[in-house]
Structure 1
Amino acid sequence: MKQVSKIMLTAVSLLSASSMLLGTPTNVKAASNVSTTSSLNSDNLYFLYNGQKLANNAILPMEKGIAVNNGDSLEKVLNTAKSLVSLSVSGVQITTNVSELRGQVQSQNVLLDNSNNIAQIPTTGFYVTLTARNNGQVVNVRVPFGNAYTVTQNAPEVQVTFNQNNVNQRLNVNNLIFQIASGSKFDPLNFWGSNKEQYKLTATNKGTLTVDSNTVDPSQPGSWGQVKVTATNSQGQKSTSSFEVYVVPQGMQRLGVDIWTDSYRISDGRVWKSEQLNRGDAIYVGNDTQIINKVSYTRISTKSQVDANSLSNNTWIKTSDLVHESVDAITKRVMHKALIYDSIGGSKLRKISAFKLVTFEKKIYVIKNAKYYKVINAPDYIKAANVDGTKRTLKKNAYIYATSNRRANKNVLRKGTKITTYGSSYMFKNGKRYYRIEGATKTQKRYVRVTNFK
């Protein structure tokens, strides 16, 4: 077996370690998880680095992980990590041992030999977690080795500032939804909402912002797009955030939620659930929006566009519920008494009578291999065969009947003709089954015997 080489520390790391042992602080940049304290409370347990208090589970604020080589022993790694920190309570010892450290580094893909020496270090480096305990209190700190950095601790954050109800707001922009007016100008880093409030994006930690992508098109009412923004600080540390922007539509819209959603009432910055809205409900979208607990709400109306923009109207919906395609609707006549089903094909034991005009979603749903129309303003589905019918081919000439013993007219339908039939067949008084066919109305009955079709 190769002679195990001693662990080598970088000049910066050695200086940090020796300075800690001598009580002289080094010039190490503090991270966001470090707070400076001039009077340390000896009754509270926490780790210290260069006289600075560390938050529990913090990563040691070093510019770069401590240098480590293949062949270094875990005991040396552990002792080096311990030498860099101290504890706020005298007499308390760090409890992490070599056996615990072995499991830690192996979980980070560090390869070890049977003598607890490092055989291979991953290119990403690794962290050593030190633990201390006192009177039931447990604290931890993570020490970076190799190419392990504290980048995520110092990365700048993308924030948005705006004024709402005469109060200045500052929020992390990630996953927020905003709303702009149709035809307005849109700068992803500085824009005006449809509520006439200005939204400005900034980066924390003196970072700079770059727009990675922007799919917002203000010229398209009712559309939405996504913006991705990256914040970068002087050390090259980055964080990327994304948010969505909804362009106010024009006129009546059909709500495009999956099945249903809630509307809300807002008062003094608090939100209460109000009435339930169904997919396909007719709504008008107002210009006013509010962001409460990082959720964006838009004022809407089920009555008119004027009401949607009226301050006396207190009906709101989550803006995220508007970020769906408006439902296309179509009005059709039900040609056969239709049983109503739910979204998974279960019968609701209710029916829609024949020849009734019903407004459906234009989209066809397939449930258990059968085609359905969904009723607008209701979570109800009926089989499309009761509306659009089914094309069937005559295998012989056929008469059209009004009843079991009376023809509708003198016309003869010729063999090979394709005829639209609706729904299932009917049993007439003569014991024979008939399909209702195209051209039938509530007052004009038209049936053809089932046996006449292929």
Structure 2
Amino acid sequence: PTLASTVQADTTSTQQSTTTTTTNTQTTNTTATATTPVATTPISVDFTLNGETHTVSPDGLYFQVAPNSTFNPTDFTGTSGVEFKLTGAKGMKVTVDSNSVDTSKAGSTGVVKLTATDAAGKATSISYTVFVKPEGLFQLNLPMNYALGLGDTDTVYQGEQYYITNNVKFARGEFFTGISKQSQNASATSNSVKWIATKYLANSKTQFQMLKLRQLP
């Protein structure tokens, strides 16, 4: 089968650098921690997930929210309880162009489009996708035969069914969701949980939706 997506194991963005200072024949070694730089994009999303704080561009990202949850395009909470706040760069005003997210429809997908405008009137637009967590077993509809997740054994195949959990990770610039064949309440540390890119779930169909489509004349 053709590989749909290869994502390496999760890594942190923290790097260590050492500075050596010599004063009056005495040498002092100072270790500094370099963290991920603050995004300079017109619109950024800030969040803290699994103990790590991120500031990145939301353009093209896939978020996961709970069904029937309150959704604000610039300030909302994901299934893992993490708050996502979207703001414009200094001096830029953010407006919501469109929002098709409907949290009353479990398993659905919506798109939000935002525009940031500076004092000179220059506008920059971005969009992101929101996946509303489904209930019950969820059937994967992958773009190819199979896809790899974060771990060495996190391989999923076209047509397989999984429960979608509340667990979410951010790695390699995108969000991953924990899925399990045992329970939708499985914890992130459970051996039954695999990590697959949220975008694959957002572009799949639930088993209920697939059956409903087949029943149409």
- Whether these two folds match at TM > 0.5 is yes
| Larger Cα-atom Rg | 1
Q: Which residue identity does 2:166 align to in structure 1?
A: N
Correspondence 1:325 to 2:205 = yes
Correspondence 1:289 to 2:174 = no
* Seq. identity, %: 30
Q: Which residue identity does 1:208 align to in structure 2?
A: K
Q: Which residue identity does 1:251 align to in structure 2?
A: G
| Residue equivalent to 1:240 | 125
Contact 1:156/1:239, CA 8 A, preserved across alignment: no
Correspondence 1:311 to 2:189 = yes
Bigger relative contact order (CA 8 A; separation at least 6): 2
Q: Distance in 2 between matches of 1:256 and 1:321?
A: 8
Using the TM superposition, give the Cα deviation of residue 362 of structure 1 relative to its aligned residue in structure 2, in angstroms: 4.8
Correspondence 1:203 to 2:88 = yes
Using the TM superposition, give the Cα deviation of residue 294 of structure 1 relative to its aligned residue in structure 2, in angstroms: 1.5
Q: Secondary structure at the match of 2:185?
A: helix
Q: Distance in 1 between matches of 2:128 and 2:145?
A: 24
| Residue equivalent to 1:300 | 179
Using the TM superposition, give the Cα deviation of residue 272 of structure 1 relative to its aligned residue in structure 2, in angstroms: 3.2
Number of residue-to-residue matches in the alignment = 172
Q: Secondary structure at the match of 1:257?
A: coil
Contact 2:134/2:206, CA 8 A, preserved across alignment: no
CA deviation vs aligned residue, 1:274-308 (integer Å, no higher than 9, x gap): 2432222111000111121211100000222233x
Q: Which residue identity does 1:317 align to in structure 2?
A: I
Q: Secondary structure at the match of 2:153?
A: strand
Q: Distance in 2 between matches of 1:243 and 1:224?
A: 11
| Residue equivalent to 1:194 | 79
Q: Distance in 2 between matches of 1:272 and 1:278?
A: 15
Q: Distance in 1 between matches of 2:55 and 2:86?
A: 9
**What's the C-alpha RMSD, in Å, of the aligned pairs?**
2.3
Shifted more, 218-227 versus 313-322: the winner is: 313-322
Higher helix share: 1
Give the unaligned 5+ runs of structure 1: 1-154, 265-270, 331-360, 364-454
| Residue equivalent to 2:157 | 278
Mapping for residues 26-425 of structure 1, pairs under 5 Å: 157-264=42-149, 271-307=150-186, 309-313=187-191, 314-323=193-202, 324-327=204-207, 328=210, 362=214
Using the TM superposition, give the Cα deviation of residue 263 of structure 1 relative to its aligned residue in structure 2, in angstroms: 4.4
Change in CA separation of 1:169 and 1:162 when aligned onto 2, cut-off 3 Å: same
Return structure 1 stretches of 4+ with deviation > 3 angstroms. Answer: none
Using the TM superposition, give the Cα deviation of residue 193 of structure 1 relative to its aligned residue in structure 2, in angstroms: 0.5
Q: Which residue identity does 2:61 align to in structure 1?
A: L
Q: Distance in 1 between matches of 2:112 and 2:143?
A: 24
CA deviation vs aligned residue, 1:46-81 (integer Å, no higher than 9, x gap): xxxxxxxxxxxxxxxxxxxxxxxxxxxxxxxxxxxx
Change in CA separation of 1:305 and 1:263 when aligned onto 2, cut-off 3 Å: farther
Q: Distance in 2 between matches of 1:176 and 1:250?
A: 22
Q: Secondary structure at the match of 2:200?
A: helix
Using the TM superposition, give the Cα deviation of residue 325 of structure 1 relative to its aligned residue in structure 2, in angstroms: 1.9
Contact 1:156/1:232, CA 8 A, preserved across alignment: no
Give the unaligned 5+ runs of structure 2: 1-39
Using the TM superposition, give the Cα deviation of residue 329 of structure 1 relative to its aligned residue in structure 2, in angstroms: 5.5
